[in-house]
């Protein structure tokens, strides 16, 4: 009998009677009629899936958005707002493409754009300082609408009001420096981030409220009598002189105050690169019992150092720093002498800086000591030479013992 025949005849009986079992993954040797048979137990299909695969999990679908509501409004503050900044309204879920949009009063040019859950207004040119703005967000039947049906429309309309702040003194200084009305240079902290493109009027407006960071440095060899008066970000005499010079060149009333008209012209001048055509001049008068002098710097270089006269005790020249506010090539200067008599003197090349005090030319036997009635007197030919530099807004400092 063959081996295969034996297995065929007896194998079943052997397994039944002897109760031979093969454990999972192991082989059992079975002796059948003098032969051997290797039996390997195979795992069932169910067992293989259970041991070889991780449990399958299914993500639960996100619940539909609830009723549409406002999450935030920017600007969030009520006062001191940057009038050139975008206005944003953020909602609890995405907005429909054709949703009604908020409105602004006063109206200005610009565009509303919807992106996801936010509606943003970007002005073409923003609001001026001190403007109270009313933002109305529509609600109810004609209200703002969510993209999902479950979001629906904004149930209740909302009104938000805010007031724009003031333009920055620091930005005023930066722009006057850029145009050459201050004896300084200004370097932005991050040139790439603070570069404002030509013609971007709204970016310039926004920077007027919130100036970029940077640092100032004096140009040339100006004396401490000038440099010590500088205050970055704060009003100072250098600003007053620069504003007057700018006002004169722009055909504005010279008052030394950066009002709305000055700012409007300044932003336009920056966009058009209208630099100061006169350069920067500074004059320093040193008075005393002898060796009185006038020194003048232009664009950082000293261009004059000459003897001068200042006021006598009965009519002294006051110490201080003042901007030139009037210029005349010739005048009959009239007034009262200390003894009560009247005078009418021909003077030339006049630059008034403090009330009736002026730098001008006048013939004297000598110069360098107290002998005027308050003015800073120069030899006429010297006054003529320096007069073109003593333009409107030029600062004149007087220091030293008053007679």
Our measurement of the distance from residue 337's CA atom to the centroid of its chain's CA atoms, rounded to an integer in Å, reads 55
Q: Is the pTM of this model over 0.85?
A: no
Structure tokens at 286: 């040193």
Q: Which domains, from first to last, does the chain contain?
A: 3-49 (no CATH), 70-163 (2.60.40.3710), 169-272 (no CATH), 281-399 (2.40.440.10)
- Integer Cα distance of 134 and 383 in angstroms: 58
Q: CB–CB of 136/125 below 8 Å?
A: no
User: Which of these, 81, 3, 73, lies nearest to 36 by C-alpha position?
Assistant: 3
Q: Which helix (DSSP H) or strand (DSSP E) does residue 91 occupy?
A: strand 87-91
Angstrom distances, CA of residue 172 to CA of 24, 31, 224: 88, 107, 23
Residue 42 CA to residue 44 CA, distance in Å, equals 6
CB 202 within 8 A of CB 125: yes
Say if residues 288 and 349 touch (Cβ distance below 8 Å). Answer: no
* Chain segment 194-242, per-residue pLDDT in tens: 778 777 999 999 999 999 999 999 998 999 999 999 999 999 999 999 9
Query: Please, are residues 394 and 351 in contact by the beta-carbon 8 Å criterion?
Result: yes
In this predicted structure, what is the pLDDT of residue 132? 98
From first to last of its 403 residues, the chain has per-residue pLDDT tens of: 433 333 333 333 333 333 333 333 333 333 333 343 333 344 444 444 444 555 666 677 778 899 999 999 999 999 999 999 999 999 999 999 999 999 999 999 999 999 999 999 999 999 999 999 999 999 999 999 999 999 999 999 999 999 999 999 999 999 999 999 999 999 999 887 677 877 799 999 999 999 999 999 999 899 999 999 999 999 999 999 999 999 999 999 999 999 999 999 999 999 999 999 999 999 999 999 889 999 999 999 999 999 999 999 999 999 999 999 999 999 999 999 999 999 999 999 999 999 999 999 999 999 999 999 999 999 999 999 999 999 999 999 999 999 9
Output the pLDDT for position 222: 97
**Distance (Å, rounded) from C-alpha 200 to C-alpha 396?**
37
Please, are residues 249 and 268 in contact by the beta-carbon 8 Å criterion? no
Instruction: Give dist(CA 135, CA 88) in Å, integer.
Output: 10
Between the alpha carbon of residue 261 and those of residues 222, 235, 246, 394, the distances in Å are 31, 18, 11, 21
Backbone angles phi and psi of 135, in degrees to 5 = -110, 120
């Amino acid at each position: 009998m063959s081996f295969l025949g034996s297995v065929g005849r007896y194998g079943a009986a052997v397994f039944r009677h002897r109760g031979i079992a093969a454990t999972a993954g192991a082989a059992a040797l079975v002796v059948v009629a003098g032969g051997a048979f290797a039996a390997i137990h195979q795992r069932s299909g169910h067992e293989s899936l259970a041991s070889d695969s991780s449990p399958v999990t299914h993500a639960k679908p996100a619940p539909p958005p609830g009723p549409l509501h406002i999450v935030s409004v920017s600007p969030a503050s009520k006062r001191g707002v940057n009038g050139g900044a975008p206005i944003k309204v953020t909602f609890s879920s995405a907005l429909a493409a054709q949703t009604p949009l908020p409105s602004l009063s006063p109206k200005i040019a610009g565009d509303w754009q919807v992106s996801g859950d936010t509606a943003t207004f970007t002005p073409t040119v923003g609001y001026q300082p001190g403007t109270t703005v009313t933002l109305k967000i529509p609600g109810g039947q004609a209200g703002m609408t969510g993209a999902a049906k479950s979001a629906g429309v904004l149930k209740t309309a909302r009104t938000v009001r805010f007031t724009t702040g003031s333009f920055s003194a620091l930005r005023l200084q930066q722009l006057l420096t850029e145009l050459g009305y201050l004896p300084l240079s200004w370097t932005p902290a991050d040139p790439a981030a603070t570069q404002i493109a030509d013609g971007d009027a709204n970016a310039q407006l926004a920077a007027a409220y919130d100036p970029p960071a940077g640092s100032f440095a004096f140009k040339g060899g100006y004396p401490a009598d000038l440099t010590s008066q500088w205050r970055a970000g704060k009003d100072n005499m250098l600003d007053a002189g620069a504003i007057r010079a700018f006002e004169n060149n722009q055909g504005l009333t010279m008052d030394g105050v950066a009002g709305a008209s000055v700012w409007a012209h300044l932003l336009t001048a920056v966009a058009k690169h209208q630099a100061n055509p006169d350069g920067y001049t500074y004059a320093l008068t040193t008075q005393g019992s002898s060796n009185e002098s006038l020194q003048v710097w232009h664009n950082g270089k000293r261009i004059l150092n000459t003897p001068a006269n200042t006021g006598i005790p009965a009519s002294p020249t006051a110490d201080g720093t003042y901007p030139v506010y009037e210029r005349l090539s010739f005048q009959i200067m009239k007034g009262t002498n200390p003894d009560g008599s009247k005078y009418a003197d021909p003077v030339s090349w006049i630059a008034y800086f403090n009330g009736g005090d002026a730098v001008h030319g006048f013939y004297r036997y000598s110069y360098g000591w107290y002998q005027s009635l308050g003015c800073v007197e120069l030899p006429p030919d010297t006054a003529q030479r320096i007069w073109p530099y003593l333009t409107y807004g030029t600062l004149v400092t007087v220091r030293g013992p008053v007679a």
